[in-house]
C-alpha cells in the first residue's frame, strides 16, 4: 500500500516525538489539581470573611473502573509527577493524530474509485439473475 509522502512525513514526525516520550520512560494518567481547604476549627482564619484557606495542597486524580480515585501529593511529588501527566496527554494527542492520518490514507486510496467487478467482466456465466426486479415475500 502506498501512502502519500505528506502522510509519511507526518507519521515520521509523530514517531520521533513518541520516541522522545518513550525515552523519558514514564507516563501517568490523570491530572494534578491545586486545592485550598477549610478546616474544622470554628475560630480558624479559613472561616473568616474573607477566608484565608489552608494550602495549597496538590491532588492527583484519575478514573479507575468509572470511579474517580485521588491521592494528596507533596510539592516535591507535584514537581516530579507533572511531566509524566504531560507525557500522557501528549501521547493521547499523538495517537489521535496517527488515527487521523490512517483514516486520511484509507480515504485517499485510489482503489475506492474502482468500479466493482461483475460476473460478465470475469467471463463467468451467471444463472437465475433477477436483475432490477423487486423481490417480495408472501
Give the model confidence (pLDDT) of 81-126 as tens digits: 999 999 999 999 999 999 998 888 888 887 877 776 766 666 666 5
CA-closest candidate to residue 28, choices 77, 75, 67:
77
Q: Phi, psi (5° rounding) for residue 64?
A: -135, 120
Residues 88 and 27 sit within 8 Å (Cβ to Cβ): yes
Q: What is the mean pLDDT of residues 49-69?
A: 94
Domain ranges of the chain: 5-107
Q: What is the pTM of this model?
A: 0.68
Give the pLDDT confidence score for residue 76 in this predicted structure. 96
Amino acid at each position: 500500500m502506498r501512502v502519500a509522502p505528506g502522510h509519511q512525513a507526518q507519521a515520521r514526525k509523530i514517531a520521533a516525538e513518541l520516541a522522545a516520550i518513550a525515552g523519558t520512560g514514564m507516563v501517568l494518567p490523570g491530572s494534578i489539581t491545586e486545592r485550598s481547604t477549610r478546616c474544622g476549627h470554628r475560630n480558624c482564619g479559613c472561616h473568616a470573611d474573607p477566608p484565608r484557606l489552608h494550602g495549597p495542597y496538590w491532588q492527583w486524580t484519575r478514573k479507575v473502573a468509572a470511579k474517580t480515585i485521588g491521592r494528596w501529593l507533596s510539592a516535591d511529588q507535584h514537581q516530579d509527577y507533572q511531566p509524566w501527566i504531560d507525557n500522557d496527554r501528549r501521547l493521547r494527542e499523538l495517537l489521535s493524530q496517527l488515527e487521523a492520518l490512517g483514516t486520511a490514507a484509507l480515504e485517499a486510496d485510489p482503489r475506492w474509485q474502482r468500479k466493482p467487478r461483475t460476473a460478465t467482466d470475469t467471463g463467468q456465466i451467471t444463472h437465475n439473475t433477477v436483475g432490477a426486479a423487486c423481490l417480495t415475500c408472501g
